[in-house]
Chains A and B, each alone.
Chain A
Amino acid sequence: MVKLQGITKRYPNATSPLYSQLELSLNANQSMAMMGPSGSGKTTLLYILGLLDPPCAGQYFFNGVDLFTLSHAQKAKFRNTELGFIFQAHMLIPHLTVEQNLMLPLIYRGLSEVVASKRANTQLHSLELAYLAQRLPHQLSGGQQQRVAILRALIGEPKLLLADEPTSALDDSTKQDILSLLLNLQKVQQFAMVIATHDVSIAGLCDRLLQVGNLHHEV
């Protein structure tokens, strides 16, 4: 489903490229963990996969379509329909309620407010979080915020979920809850998943592991 070919990424002031001729493929429903030290380029690769940060060279195929040839509007549409993002710091929009945060990707998709609200509430019900619907993000705990962020990433039924250290800001017990939630949802909703993490236990739960660094290689 996902195929990266010859990806090279170099930051303007860097002496050596972050990636050189990176090749990567990922099948549907497959999960892959990315591990590596800080600054090794885990998040950058996620942004490349998310069409937020273009590489210096290379090609990115998604179901056979070369995504780097798409226009800005087409890329935005692709991000909206095919991708889901979970960020390290939950990144909910602070002035919107939980329900409004969940509705946002659907609103950008062109769905009506009523339909988007209905779907947001269904998702919240599925995780027994309906009571949080009208709260603002700062009124939630860290675990609740991350659960809402996961729901927002998955509300549009993406084919590829990109998660950037989704449990790094959580305590151990919440971390386990979030992880099991993520993996359960992956089984139910059948999407491919790329997780950037420092945590070996998370990497162990994924189908594949990619070591990222100067010599990136698959383990």
Chain B
Amino acid sequence: MKSSYWLKEGWALFRFYRLRLLLGLLGISIGIGAACALFSINFVVAKNSENVLAKYGQSRFIATLTPMSLLEKKQAKQHLSAPYITSFCHKYKDYLTLIPYQVVNFKDEKVIVGTLSGIEKHLEWPLDSGRALHRLDQQDTVAVVGKRVGAVVGTQIALYGRYFEVVGVLGEVEPNPLIEFDPNQAIVISIEMLARIKPLPWVDSFIVQSDSESLVVAKSQFKALIKSSFLIEQMFIRDATLFQLALLKQVNMTVQMLKMIALTTLLLGTLSIVNLLVILIDERKREMGLRLAMGATALTISWQFLREIMMLCCLGAALGIVFGHLAAYIIVMKLGLTYYFGWFSWCIGFPVALAMGILAGTLPLVFATTCHPVKLLNS
């Protein structure tokens, strides 16, 4: 039988039983849609997670030293002073890129960040006007300010009784969850100048960048260096994996809820299809008997009915996948993540829908086609 003919027959069937078939279609669509939304969200989370790693660096992290014992505190006071730490970081620059920084709260939401030149380069802060801090600016009263500080290049700003000349203004910086301050509200000066205007017990925070491709190796390199140099073992490290975990935690509840909905609706969808097919096949038993009388074989009839079920399921799957993606898009937007389209759901959605249809349709069909033709005609 030509495919164009059975497509017409299928369409005729759909028009005749439209309400029931539409409800069945809805059942499949919701089931597949929920499953597809789940797959899409998982895919989007994985992609976002990869992006977090790529964005914040595979081997970049922020370390805050937290000396606990008296010995560690003594070592910190002795070695983590501003002038000493500058030369320490410079000494190991070929081995690890270390940028120490210290944050002091200023007025309103503004902060003063004492650091070394190069922080803007490592954290990819764009410069709007002027220049960045230079290595030779260590003893100078110059500052680079964030966009929302409200200063322009060439003006002076007063910090704890000292005037600093603004030499550069940063462009709008995207918030980086690895660092605890907002660069847009920061007044960046040299760490030595900060130590002069605001006495610090020690410098405790470092931006660390390793050449190693693994974060674990980079961390162990840094820990070993700090331990051997300052006998300090206690530290708190923030890296991109933390944000991966935070991201997963953020979406985990949604995914779990969606999993439940997907499973329930898929089950309900399958049951509604079974119910629909049992009723429909039961109602069409006479038609089967008639087709047998007209010269069709049981195999021809089985294949015809299965084809119709599979058409319905494919249509339901296509609709479900489209709606699933739409639902996933809305959820992803609500979670504040970036949406990515994946073909994976199409590759899964169709086979699942077909399996649903075949599972649901085969049993009543086998029952009907093995029935005696006379029983079918008299049903």
Contact = CB atoms under 8 A, between A and B. Distances in A.
Given A47-B374, A112-B2, A93 B290 contact: yes
A53 B372 contact: yes
Given A50-B293, A52-B374, A79-B295, A91 B13 contact: no
B250 interface: no
Given A52-B374, A53-B373, A95-B13, A77 B295 contact: yes
A109 interface: yes
Contacts of A76: 292, 295-297, 300
A176 to B, nearest CB: 26
B294 A79 contact: yes
Given A50-B293, A76-B295, A85-B294, A107 B1 contact: yes
A112 B300 CA distance: 17
Interface in B116-162: none
A104 B291 contact: yes
Interface of B: 1-2, 4-5, 8-9, 12-13, 15-17, 286-287, 289-298, 300, 372-374, 377
Interface in A85-101: 85, 87, 91, 93-97, 100
Interface in A64-119: 72-73, 76-77, 79-81, 83, 85, 87, 91, 93-97, 100, 104-105, 107-109, 112-113
Interface of A: 44, 47, 50, 52-53, 72-73, 76-77, 79-81, 83, 85, 87, 91, 93-97, 100, 104-105, 107-109, 112-113, 136, 152, 156
Nearest to B6: A107
6 contacts: A47-B374, A52-B377, A76-B292, A91-B377, A108-B1, A136-B16
A104 B293 contact: no
Contact of B2 (A77, A83, A113): A113
B294 A104 contact: yes
A91 B291 CA distance: 10
A107 B7 CA distance: 14
Contacts of B293: 50, 52, 79, 83, 85
Nearest to A136: B16
Given A52-B373, A95-B16, A96-B12, A109 B295 contact: yes
A49 to B, nearest CB: 12
A144 B4 CA distance: 28
A94 B372 CA distance: 21
B151 to A, nearest CB: 78
B297 A73 contact: yes
Closest 3 CB pairs of A and B: A80-B295, A95-B16, A52-B373
B297 A72 contact: yes
A147 B89 CA distance: 101
A105 B295 contact: yes
A95 B17 contact: yes
Given A81-B295, A93-B287, A104-B291, A113 B374 contact: no
Contacts of B8: 100
Contacts of B292: 52, 76, 79
B369 to A, nearest CB: 11
Nearest to A103: B5
A125 B5 CA distance: 22
Contacts of B16: 94-95, 136
Contacts of B296: 76, 80, 108
A96 B374 CA distance: 22
